[in-house]
Copies of this chain bind each other. A is one copy, B any other.
Amino acid sequence: MPLTILVTGGAGFVGSHTVLELLNAGHAVICLDNLCNAYGGGAGSKLPESLKRVQEITGGSVTFYDVDIRERDELRSVFNKHKIDCVVHFAALKAVGESCRIPLKYYQNNITGTSILLEVMAEVCLGWACMRKHANEEPVIFYFKAGVFKIVYSSSATVYGEPQKLPLTESHPTGSCTNPYGKSKYFTEEIMKDLCESDPRWTVVSLRYFNPVGAHKSGRIGEDPNGEPNNLMPYISQVAVGRRECLRVFGNNYDTPDGTGVRDYIHIVDLAEGHVKAIDKLAGGTISGFCVYNLGTGRGYSVLEVVKAFSKASGREVKYEIVDRRAGDVAASYADVSLAAKELGWTAKRGLDEMCEDTWNWQKNNPNGFAG
């Protein structure tokens, strides 16, 4: 059944790819974004560039609001304009390094922002009626409340902290995060858990992403980080395209097959499809309370394996140098993905070669990202 879905942070990397798959699945999509980390599309444009391209690719249409989730009144007015069935909540800051430098910015955006979103969702009021029996009587006002209590949350494998056991299952302890970004994801999950325990009307699906990479097949949308990329794949691809000199590989003395860090990379389109499946599940009403699913492939690749696969996909050499380990990095992290397979009917289909090919296709067609 087609739903009306509000997507916060819809102009970003994961957001735009998910909006695309939601449109493909026949849903109506309302997007919010404060554009703090997305290309606005130039003066006079009503849509950020990523969503313009999503419309071109799908032939569908997105309603967009340039709204910050911390602006309670603006958020309310969006909920009052549309009859929203459920929310997919991406809006958050995500740069680990910046979070260590300006922690309050991260806590305000990610925790306060989410709390305000959740409060506004619960309060949604679709209208009111005013009744009185006699003209001289005090009127009684009835509000038609229609809170929205279904949300998919953009969480992260970072909530597991240092893995005590691999692969990481959803029951692995959370907390012990080493940076404010990670803590903000962990705290937000705890807040949502408490909310579900306090009020049975809520259903939260928290999706713990491993390492999203790749781009849509069209090469029209992809990851477009501001400044120096924080993550491996966009860094490699900027080296391959000549925007950056050389990749720094942080440590080659980890306890892994080739000594470099091992991560569970997942193709962004697989990830986006996971969100569509999560919404089907949410809308189906067969789950309730706070539910968590890992979204990964279940297979880890080392930094050097990714470099090699990217060289092959791009036909370019990717220069790298080995430097010291980076504080807070773990040797290896990959998901147990059986729960999402069983309960959501979702499994990642795209392998490392396809991740690299699609990243390269996006990069070479958009060497400077959305700004062109």
Contacts and interface: CB of A to CB of B under 8 A. Distances in A.
A241 to B, nearest CB: 33
A103 B122 CA distance: 13
A115 B183 CA distance: 15
B198 A101 contact: yes
B197 A100 contact: yes
A370 interface: no
Given A111-B111, A112-B115, A187-B187, A103 B180 contact: no
A104 B197 contact: no
A107 interface: yes
Contact of A104 (B100, B102, B108, B119): B119
A306 interface: no
Contacts of A340: none
A194 B115 contact: no
Contacts of A191: 103-104, 107, 180
Number of copies: 2
A107 B111 contact: yes
Interface string A112-134: 10011011000000000000000
Contacts of A119: 104, 108
Contacts of A73: none
A191 B104 CA distance: 7
A71 interface: no
Interface string A194-207: 11011000000000
A194 B190 CA distance: 19
A194 B118 contact: no
A41 interface: no
A175 interface: yes
A198 B112 contact: no
A100 B180 contact: no
Most chain B beta-carbon neighbours within 10 Å: one of A101, A179, A187: A187
Interface of A: 100-104, 107-108, 111-112, 115-116, 118-119, 175, 179-180, 183, 187, 190-191, 194-195, 197-198
8 contacts: A101-B198, A102-B198, A103-B191, A104-B195, A107-B115, A108-B115, A112-B112, A180-B191
